[in-house]
Amino acid sequence: MAGDRAIIHLADGERAVRIGTEESGTHVVAASSVEAAVAHAVDLVDRGVDSIDLCGATGYIWTAAVEAAVQGRACVNTVLFGFESLTSVAHYKEKASAGAALTALFIFVQEGAGQEREHFVHHEGDSRSVFVAVPHPDRGAAVAADFADGVQLIELYGGFGASDVAAVITAVDGRIPVGVAARS
């Protein structure tokens, strides 16, 4: 598990999924509270995870708590949205707060992910979070384009650079808010 990374997303339940190879994997963990996120983060770091990405719904309170808990033993990142996504991410938040059925797409880089995407879906009520592993950040735009008609939010994890993020935004014609995990 050394060298593994983790994505902690806000969701009811406390389930975890690992995608990857024996040598390198990404743990996707649901946490319903900051306390649960901290407990997961400490456990994952104790088992060798060296990077933790927090979804955009968690914010800086969660980020600060996780950073304090892991005490520098892992890099902690949080999803941020660029200026071009601020209005649409605010609309997404309003709809989510009102209980609307929404679909979010979480694309993450996972070494060894096959050319055919590895993915799974987390259902929470009528909403869903679709997690898709890609072998390289340059595959993110194609995945975003494939899912564009059925999602209302996109988050990118695991090493997407500025040109990769711009390609995703372009692939969805700027119609969907796109956030990327970045060092806080």
Long-range contacts made by residues 158-167, C-beta under 8 angstroms, separation at least 24?
158/5, 158/26, 158/53, 158/108, 158/109, 158/110, 159/109, 160/107, 160/109, 161/137, 164/137, 164/138, 164/140, 165/82, 167/138, 167/140, 167/141
Token output for 128: 């869903």
Distance CA 105, CA 120 (A): 11
CA dist 6 → 2, 28, 35, 36, 45 (Å): 12, 6, 16, 14, 9
DSSP output for 14-30: --EEEEE-SS-EEEEEE
Determine the pLDDT at residue 22: 81
Give pLDDT, residue 13. 73
**pLDDT, tens digit (0-9, with 9 covering 90-100), for 18-75:** 888 888 899 999 999 999 999 999 999 999 999 999 999 999 999 999 999 999 999 9
Q: Residue 1: what pLDDT?
A: 57
Q: How confident is the model at residue 81 (pLDDT cuts 50, 70, 90)?
A: very high
Asked whether 63 and 8 are in contact (CB, 8 A), the reply is no
126: Cβ contacts below 8 Å, ≥ 6 apart: 101
| pLDDT higher than 90, residue 116 | no
